Amino acid sequence: MIFTIAGKELKALFASPLAWVVLTVTQILVGYVFLRRLDDFLQLAPQLTRMASPPGATELVAAPSFGTAAGVLLFAVPILAMRLIAEERRNQTMVLLVSAPVSMTEIVLGKFAGLFAFLLAIVALTALMPLSLAAGTRLDYGLLAGLAAGLALLAASFAAVSLFVSCLTVHPVAAAIGAFSALLGMMLAGEAAGEGLRARGWAVAASLAQVLSPAKNFEPFGKGLLDTYAIACSLLLTAFFLALAIRQLDAQRLRG
């Protein structure tokens, strides 16, 4: 049933003009940064050849492109996720979904999976840009895979938080604004808390604060590091907000 709900959500996204606008704007912004960094890389190529171990196209072109995609997703995911639950409740179709022989867990996971599949398309399109350079230059495929994995984990975190916020209101626009505010607040608060705790010598507490900062979890991937702790933090953050969404919908069903 999870895959049925996921397929329905994915079809709804691809049938939505708003989703296509978000996808188009995302690719335009990422493509612009990619071409700018590619132009800079080509201009620096003569100087790079004189270096002992020069950075390649993956470090100078692909990594900034993925960083831009991560920033764009901060705005894009709340817009894409705002209708998942809020619009169902506003249109009063949530009653039909809840009355079906499916659990709240299946509903939440199905909607999350549908949105995440759409976001994976954005990750794939972002990865295709540097892959188009494979015939003309050497690429660090390990770094490229790490960047794609990091962006996918970041998208999953954003999607889980946005889905939970969508459960709190019947107004999709309010859900989008709330999700963006929550994500931005989490990143700022997580970064500030981590620095403050680290300055006081509380390294363990500072590490735990990283769970609340999705962008902080993406940073190691941008540097070519496969940080298992960052992966664990991303997965924990995603699972936590999915659990909150399930709990919220269960509470709403009990209240009627």
Write down the pLDDT at residue 87: 78
- 238-253: per-residue pLDDT in tens? 999 999 999 988 887 7
**Domain extent at residue 85:** 2-255
Mean pLDDT of 61-72: 90
Give me the number of domains the chain comprises.
1
- Looking at residue 72, its pLDDT comes to 93
The rounded distance, in Å, linking the Cα atoms of 148 and 28 is 18
Packing angle, helices 17-48 and 104-131, rounded to 10: 40
In tens, the pLDDT along 184-237 reads: 888 777 666 666 656 666 655 556 666 677 777 887 887 777 778 888 888 988
Q: What is the pLDDT of residues 144-182, one digit of tens each?
A: 888 999 999 999 999 999 999 988 888 888 989 999 998
